[in-house]
Amino acid sequence: MDKVIGQRWEVYDYEKIINTVPKRGEIVLVCNTPDYADEIVLLKADGSKPVIELYAQENKLSKENFTFIIDSDEKLAAWAKDLPGYNYMHVLIKTGSWTYDMGILEGGSLSDPFTAIDISNGRTKSVTGEAGSKIIINYEAPYYSWAYCCGIKGSGDISYPSSSDIKKDYFFNNVNIEVNGGQGGSSIGLYLCRNLYACTGIVNGSGEIIGIYVCSNLINCIGTADGTKGETESGYIPCGIQSCYNLINCIGEAFNGQGGYRCYGFCECRNLTNCKGAAVRLGGAVFLNDIDFLNCRTGYGCQSNNPYTVSITFENCYMEMYSGETPWSNTAAGGYNRP
């Protein structure tokens, strides 16, 4: 295949796009157009345009240069509580599973949840996880009063991000987080984060659970919402990845349990390339169809990743950014949305 960085492709050259996997050290930008997204541009940083930096600083940050290393539950708690005496600017998560218990929570909302690790003030600019590393957040919520809790809250803006608003020194690399909320929990894995490479957000609970929510610039990421460990309350919908922008080679998967209403793999996302969605029902009656991609805009080479149950691949998904004129095709051969 020809060298891809720096080249421009029109929509009909989608095969070049979906066969492109950014490699370590490459800097890429997914460009948007105001309405009909007629191009995707991948380019090396040359100073003339804003870029998304992924792994760009890895060569500069050796193990000796990380300012804070998480290698125990106590160190994770220090980062979460923002304890004084540490520099949390560049965090390294060592191999292993590290757990932080938030106790009993009650209240919060989807837009303003309780937060285990809040770095929205910019105290942390980069987070890198070693292979086999994982952060686990546990909390309990009263069954009938509920609680909203997210694992990591970044400094992104909840509004639609523009390329000129990208923070070049703010990124996540191989960050894996699991949030467990029990019967009364509405959990979010990664929230308001930008520039994510190979990250995973896994959430469990019976409320409104979302693996990755309102994040932008994701490559090789996975969002998983597991509503099977308790009866998901009717009206609450597990979603793998929701309201995210600029996604390449990502997987959004949601699993519904006995009391579940429906579930979504991707919901209300924009600019998706080579992504796979799975909305899987593992028990209970079917009230409404589960949907792999719902209300998404501008997608190339996206398809269902659901080997378990029957689901709708695309619903209300259009190529235009705002108007709805060109729907994603939904073929019998797996729902590959070829232009």
Please write the tens of the pLDDT for every residue from 96-116: 999 999 999 988 888 899 999
Which band of pLDDT confidence, cut at 50, 70 and 90, is reported for residue 252?
Answer: very high
Listed by start position, the domains of the chain span 64-315
Does pLDDT of 172 surpass 60?
yes
Give the distance from CA 134 to its chain's centroid: 16
Q: Looking at 32-187, list the stretches that DSSP marks H as alpha helix, in order from N- to C-terminal side.
A: 73-81
Assign 329 a pLDDT band (cuts: 50, 70, 90).
confident
pLDDT(251) > 90: yes
Q: Is the pLDDT of residue 140 over 80?
A: yes
Whether 204 shows a pLDDT value over 90: the answer reads no
Hey, what are 82's tokens?
A: 């923002």
Distance CA(60)–CA(203), nearest Å, equals 33
List own/partner pairs for 324-329 with CB under 8 A and 24 or more apart.
328/293, 328/296, 328/299, 328/302
Q: What mean pLDDT comes out for the span 114-134?
A: 93
pLDDT at site 337: 58
- pTM of the predicted protein model: 0.80
Structure tokens at 12: 């009909």
Cα–Cα distance, 28 to 220 (Å, whole number): 13
CA distance 270 to 60: 32
The answer to whether 253 touches 291, Cβ cutoff 8 Å, is: no
Does the pLDDT at position 161 exceed 60?
no
- pLDDT over 60 (residue 14): no
Which sign, positive or negative, has the C-alpha torsion 69, 70, 72, 73?
A: positive
Which of the four pLDDT bands, split at 50, 70 and 90, describes residue 221? very high
